[in-house]
Chain A
């Protein structure tokens, strides 16, 4: 038995070395070589650069948009941190899923409440501090408000829920279409190249940046938000930097 143990231990060591060479040196380097040569852009993260050569993001990775002139993406449980992806992981009957993961804080008399806090009705000196996830109810309210929609307007499922990766680059066509009027108004107000912007032009851009189902049936259609916003800037100019 001892002899078997010794022999097979030595065999283990030898096989580990050989398999390491095959699977962790030759194989990934081969993929790297082929990838860098044949699909250079994808192999390096499908990065987008601006005219000055600065990287402004990746086609595949969603980013945070808050300005009225841009299409907004889906809620993200990680604030579009592309070096810390993740979902909300809130269960279907968890109150935080609907109301958000904020918390109530009580301050002593005269103390200033924390930033972003709102007073809680019926509880003096108590404030609600929103968390990293605002909840379906608040995301829906916010989206309706921003886009001037009726309080009972039906919203598509994606725009009020956090994605799995927290980096979803896409929104649904409905979610994009509902934002068109807001964008037209905001851009028009800035004048210049954007003075003549029409909803139809923006809708055409949505069409152009919609990825259909692969092979006609796989997955669901979606609009790439970053590419759509870049297309907007291309046609109508980048919005002026916000006042500090």
Chain B
């Protein structure tokens, strides 16, 4: 670790803290129907949309109708994407991917299912190679592994917008349920969705995308460029409308790369400055939601307590990754490699990392992208030192609540808040209450469903994979690292993250199908109990705080919350992790390679 490296992390945390309040106020204004500074321009557009759609924006929904609307919307967009993927070869904007006019083919069924599920659920797991050129080069072009500009722009980027908007809408509905008393309605799904896209996602992305173009991210519809290199070889350079997709990929915590190498690709993330903005945009909405929440329930400290617990876990994770990555891999050091970071040598574990980012900016990105449900990467986790690679894995397994994905992270952590309140209530022997609402048996059942679905899917599917021959053949690295690859695949799928220990060959019928289901389970089986919980909470009266009320606004509660999150996570995953990354760290420290046979 260097002073400058630590400074990069500190500056990041400070700026994140600084944008939390303005972001939160703006989010609150948008969803509470208050006037924002963009209203003069956007309010007429919004009104026009409702007029065209014949939607009554004042009519709200109870939790069941809200859930039905959300499910129908998700289902239809998923079907649409599946269709486009299957027909992309004959749809327009199918770019030539080499000099001889090869175009992208249609995507095979299982892969198209996986991809459609992946983008609908805000996961953005990618078993395809977006730019597809490697397949073209080997002569097996149009194997349907790639995607066309049309698919990227009209489907994948579309999901990047709407899956993020769905997540944020759900978080807002949940906040309404906590803030309201003796009510039934939790908001109008269509209004929430439209407002989120119109007031929050689109304006920010427009500015962000233009800044990205300035930094060097392409935005064109050209065929791939065929260049003759300085040494006279041919290099085919993939192009495309990258910037517009890149902005929402980060800001909506989607993470699906326009290119295979994601945000390590110089066209997606050309400079340390663009990298910094990308990291900031990942957590901007998630952090802002904590402030919006405080404002909504009329007590700003309720929001800061949650932000504080998130910040502790976020900062700890970032420094663990940075520390281990900067120390490097002793097996590489033994080859006469200098791992000390200086101005003239990035040092550390550079396998899978870019020179322009180095150790600090790569490690921080790894933490941020898995703390949220983003899953974009600017360095490759599969080549991280084992404990550094375990941090992203654990971040996702905990439910991506360390700030979290847009919306999903926030309703995720509220579930843990309620769990903490419940545990505190058990300890003192009183009925637990949160924000004046009594937490009862039915509510706790919903909370436990949410808490248990994640490990059930992660550990269940990983167990299946580890006894399946085909699944094992997909592993790229031997020994404990291979187990970590499988665990990571199902953790990332269920957690709707989308980052990967990318050595694993996910494009098999086995992983396409099971991974696709894991993503749908992780998204929708999580959302339904959450909405049911919201439906139950919104009905409750609030009781005034008494001396027996456990205060949820102090350091003590923040500490309890962090404790509950870590204990639940540790109890659930420690056995599996000790066979994966933990044992591998010992192997590496002993200076041994994992020899097969």
Q: What is the interface of chain A, defined by CB distance below 8 A to chain B? A: 4-5, 8-9, 11-16, 18-20, 22-24, 27-28, 30-32, 34-36, 38-39, 42-47, 54-67, 70, 74, 78, 80-95, 97-98, 136-137, 140, 152-158, 160-175, 177, 211, 213-215, 217-222, 226, 229-230, 233, 238, 241
Contacts and interface: CB of A to CB of B under 8 A. Distances in A.
Given A12-B76, A164-B377, A214-B273, A93 B132 contact: no
Given A165-B261, A213-B272, A229-B230, A28 B244 contact: yes
B227 interface: yes
B336 interface: yes
B335 A140 contact: yes
Nearest to B198: A22
Given A80-B235, A93-B331, 18 more contacts: A8-B68, A14-B52, A20-B158, A23-B157, A56-B227, A60-B216, A61-B266, A89-B502, A156-B338, A156-B344, A157-B345, A163-B352, A168-B355, A174-B344, A177-B344, A211-B356, A220-B358, A229-B230
A30 B217 CA distance: 15
Contacts of A59: 216
Nearest to A14: B53
A180 B385 CA distance: 32
Most buried by B among A22, A34, A85, A93: A93
11 contacts: A27-B205, A32-B221, A86-B134, A93-B386, A93-B588, A140-B337, A168-B266, A169-B266, A175-B345, A177-B344, A215-B273
Nearest to B380: A87
B360 to A, nearest CB: 8
Interface in B182-231: 190, 193-194, 197-198, 201-202, 205-206, 209-210, 213-222, 224-231
Interface residues of B, number: 142
Interface stretch (B408-416, B477-485, B489-497, B540-548): B477-485
Contacts of B245: 28
Contact of B350 (A55, A67, A157): A157
B271 interface: yes
Most buried by A among B65, B161, B335: B335
B338 A54 contact: no
Most buried by B among A24, A64, A154: A24
Contacts of B503: 89-91
A83 B237 contact: yes
B338 A89 contact: no
Given A90-B351, A164-B352, A84 B235 contact: no
B332 interface: yes
A88 B352 contact: yes
Contacts of A87: 261, 264, 351-352, 380, 382-383, 502
Contacts of A229: 230
A217 B7 contact: yes
Given A23-B158, A84-B133, A174-B344, A92 B331 contact: yes
A11 B383 CA distance: 46
Contact of B348 (A12, A39, A136, A157): A157
B469 interface: no
Contact of A44 (B222, B332, B380, B593): B222
B345 A156 contact: yes
B332 A97 contact: yes
A8 B69 contact: yes
Contacts of B214: 38-39, 42
Contacts of A5: 68, 72
Contacts of B65: 4, 8
B219 to A, nearest CB: 4
A40 to B, nearest CB: 10
Contacts of B4: 213, 217
Contacts of B11: 217
B236 interface: yes
Most buried by A among B209, B343, B350: B350
Interface in B446-483: 476-481
Contact of A98 (B55, B80, B270, B335): B335
